[in-house]
Every structure is written in C-alpha cells, then in structure tokens.
C-alpha cells in the first residue's frame, strides 16, 4: 500500500479521504484495513478531508511529528 504522505522515520502518515472513500464500499473497507494495520504497527495516522483547513492539517502533522521526536531546524539551534 502507498501512503498519501508519510514520514517512516517517525511513524506518521497523512491520508486524504476523498469522495471515493465514502462512495465505494470496497475502497472504504480496503482503506480501513490498511490504516488499522499501520495503527497496529504504531503509526500515527492523520486523516484529512476536503473541508479541513490547510493550516490545521499542517499543525496536526507537526504535533504528531514532534511527539515522535522530530524537531524543526530552528528548535534544534535553540536546544544545542
């Protein structure tokens, strides 16, 4: 399976759920099983829909990455 966006080093993924996920039951079932498997492996899955504001999605992804140990370049300079 291919992730929409993923950061394997940190076990974080962002997955966009478009209308095809809602309208096609087989697609929905396949996606649910795939995402459950990733969650069982310890991944944090950020689910995204068209109505989400981009800045909120970025914030959710950033928080998940920081939770997993990622530090933005500016934070590294401050910590060192």
The DSSP symbol for 15 reads E
pLDDT per position in the chain (80 positions), as tens? 688 999 999 999 999 988 877 788 898 899 889 999 999 999 999 999 999 999 999 999 999 999 999 998 865 544 44
* Token output for 25: 């039951």
CB 12 within 8 A of CB 68: yes
CB 28 within 8 A of CB 21: yes
The neighbour count for residue 7, using CB atoms within 10 Å, is 17
pTM of the entire predicted model: 0.81
């Amino acid at each position: 399976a291919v992730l929409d966006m993923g950061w394997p080093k940190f076990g974080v993924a962002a997955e966009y759920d478009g209308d095809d996920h809602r309208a096609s039951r087989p697609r929905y079932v396949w996606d649910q099983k795939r995402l459950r498997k990733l969650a069982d492996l310890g991944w944090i899955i950020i689910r995204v829909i068209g109505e989400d504001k981009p800045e909120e999605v970025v914030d959710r992804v950033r928080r998940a990455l920081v939770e997993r140990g990622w530090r933005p370049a500016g934070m590294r300079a401050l910590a060192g």
